[in-house]
Chains A and B, each alone.
Chain A
Amino acid sequence: MAGQGKTNLISLNGILGLISSFPLITYILEFLKDLVINMMKTAPVPKHIALIMDGNRRYAKSKKLALSEGHSAGADSLIQVLNTCYKLGVAHVTIYAFSIENFNRSQEEVETLFGLLRNRLSLLADNEDSYARINKIKVRIVGNKSLIPEDILQDLEAIEAKTNNLESYRVLNVCFPYTSRDDIAHSVRTISDKVAHDIIRSSDITLETLNENMYMGADTPPLDILVRTSGHTRLSDFMLWQANDRCVIEFVDVLWPDFKFLNIVSVILKWSYYRTLEMEEGYHTTSGTKEKKISSPDIYANLPPPPPLASVTQR
């Protein structure tokens, strides 16, 4: 019975897929998407979104596909999400491509992952008419570059150089190999080095100094939304420093290859809804607290003057 239900579902999906591949339907769908995006542009839009793309392997397993197909389904999903974000006006998107802890996986898988990443990025950025070039996206490798093998590092740096044009105002930060603790340690190390070379004084070190010396650099706006797919509710050493204050963390119970236009739109819509409320509330609460501040002190001093004092003993 269950098997029958499953096959029915797949065929339904198949039919839907077939329908949505007709040119007219695709056109209408794209038109609707643009409509939604234009509508959302009129509300506050986040400046910086970070993504933990979790669930490629589980997706492949559940669909009985090869591992690489799971990863490529994830890459398709990423393109869709990036497209939506950039169209909306989110200038910075950060993705967690590879964690330093991932080096614990088998040598073979690490190498395939590296190869995959290099191929995807070069597909994204190599040619004159590739996605990143047309959309003016600057690709940046964020993370501990000393851990990347020499040949791959060269290719990645070539991609970085190719996309680093003056007119590219959108940024795709690829965290590779990255952990947030390593990021903080890197910042501390850089600052200490600067102090040792008398570039800054140690008494001038503030929160800002640490922010500026992170891998992401000073020109990256603070993180607004962090999305983690596949339902795990932990940060896994990603953006700890950036995500712990004034940032919305969304744990979505969807595998990454299934994370599509509607999912990212609903996440952003929710953010702008709360942001709008905050804007409205901001006016009320701040004016309210100011009044409260004035009215609270010293009742005794504000009492009206008493009648003149008189004593029975007139002396």
Chain B
Amino acid sequence: MVESLVRRKSGTNGTTIVVGRTSEAEKIDRRDRGEKEVTKAARSLISNFLHGGEGTGAAGQSGLNLVLFYVNHAILLAIFFLISIYKNVEFVYHRVMLKFLTLAYYPNKTPQLIREDVTKLNKIPRRISCILNLKYEDDENGGIDGLVNDISELAAWSLSAGIPSLSVYEYSGAVSDHLQQLCRSISKTLSVYFGSDSMPSYCVRVPHTNTLIYNINTENPTSQAPPEKVDLEITLLSRVDGKPTIVELTKTMSELVNKELAVNDITVDLIDEELVELVGKEPDLLVSFGPCLDLQDYPPWHIRLSEIYWEQDNLDVNYAVFVRALQQYSNCKINVGK
């Protein structure tokens, strides 16, 4: 219901707030659900432990079990304490490493430097996909502006590296309501990287709302017609492109059964064809710019063989992570089923 509403209304300025609110509410709802699960789990934990053993009848036994439970739990908490110290040390180590890598791999807004990093590799992905996080408005590089910045940088890096297709996944899909701002920012970043005269062409696609925007060169506005070949295709994905799209597809297919479609015609290939049409092709490399690997409901159909990369304790979109992801991809062996 909410999705169809969003789909119908998206585009006008007033609905930005509506979309923002629904996604926010969804997130809170999701967290609440998680919390409820957790409290239930906690409650059942003790009873599980107490009644898990064989002798549940005798009262003395259950008393002993209770003591045992607390002793064991105390040991566990001590271990958790040690783990937390270890994790903190590890966090500092990772941050220092990342800082060092950021200095070592600084692109300096120069495509030649990026290309130089890439030419050392023996292969690069055709399609790269990045999972970004929407940060709080008050944080550094946060909110929609931060996301827009990150996407522009990613676009410039992909172009410099020679990757023709970039898709960006963000859980709530908030950027797709700020397409104009996004295009302006991308053009600006690209002109910084490549110079304003020879800016590479790009297009931005939002599969969910079925919009496609080509960059419009401000100097000769006559070139409104879509060019034959764009240098970079940017796709904006969000949660609705994942499981909800498959649900919608199931609805459509089930309505077509016995009319235009036999049940046995529904195969992996047919669904794949439809989903490529609806969402896009499977990325070769998936980079998560979060502190740990969390796929955040990324379209499940599309991560079949994708190489996944993330850097522990990394908090922002970072060129060093991007390049290291490409390096890992160039080292991986592609062998389906072997």
Contact = CB atoms under 8 A, between A and B. Distances in A.
Interface string A189-213: 1011111100000110111011000
Contact of A207 (B28, B52, B75, B247): B247
Given A195-B254, A205-B254, A279-B42, A286 B263 contact: no
Contacts of A194: 254
Contact of B300 (A184, A185, A269, A279): A184
B52 A41 contact: yes
Interface string B294-330: 0111111101111111000000000000000000100
Interface string A39-58: 11111110000000000000
Contacts of A104: 336-338
B256 to A, nearest CB: 8
A276 B80 contact: yes
Interface string A235-276: 111001101111111010000000000000000011001011
A241 B300 contact: yes
A202 B255 contact: yes
Looking at chain B, what size class is its interface with the partner chain?
A: 35 or more
Given A207-B244, A240-B300, A244-B295, A184 B68 contact: no
A134 to B, nearest CB: 14
Interface string B26-50: 0010011011001101100100110
Interface string A280-302: 00110110010000000000000
A247 B303 CA distance: 15
B266 A192 contact: yes
Contacts of B304: 179-181, 235-237, 240
A279 B301 contact: no
Nearest to B299: A244
B282 to A, nearest CB: 10
A250 to B, nearest CB: 9
Looking at chain A, what size class is its interface with the partner chain?
A: 35 or more
A101 interface: yes
Interface in A1-55: 38-45
A195 B249 contact: no
Interface centre among B303, B304, B306, B309 (most CB of A within 10 A): B304
B75 to A, nearest CB: 5
A283 B38 CA distance: 10
Contacts of A249: 293, 295, 308
A105 B75 CA distance: 49
A137 B338 CA distance: 30
A280 B328 CA distance: 36
B198 interface: no
A73 interface: no
B113 interface: no
B72 A39 contact: yes
A94 B196 CA distance: 55
A112 interface: no
Contact of B266 (A101, A185, A251): A185
A196 B258 contact: yes
Give the secondary structure class of B's interface. Answer: helix
B14 to A, nearest CB: 18
A119 interface: no
Contact of A233 (B28, B249, B268, B307): B307
Interface centre among B75, B257, B297 (most CB of A within 10 A): B257
Contacts of B48: 41, 89
A145 interface: no
A43 B249 CA distance: 40
Given A41-B72, A278-B38, A240 B303 contact: yes
Interface in B163-200: none
Interface centre among A41, A89, A187, A207 (most CB of B within 10 A): A41
B305 A236 contact: yes
A202 B80 contact: no
A104 B337 CA distance: 7
A188 interface: yes
Given A181-B272, A249-B295, A42 B242 contact: no
Nearest to B242: A244
Nearest to B250: A188
Interface string B261-275: 101101110011000
B83 interface: yes
Given A104-B338, A188-B271, A195-B254, A241 B308 contact: no
Contacts of B295: 243-245, 247, 249
A243 B300 CA distance: 8
B213 interface: no
B254 A244 contact: no
A135 to B, nearest CB: 14
Given A42-B45, A188-B271, A245-B296, 6 more contacts: A100-B337, A104-B338, A206-B247, A207-B247, A245-B297, A282-B35
Nearest 9 A-B pairs (CB), nearest first? Answer: A101-B337, A195-B254, A42-B73, A282-B35, A240-B300, A192-B254, A244-B295, A245-B297, A104-B337
9 contacts: A41-B48, A43-B80, A105-B337, A179-B268, A184-B301, A196-B257, A209-B250, A244-B242, A244-B299
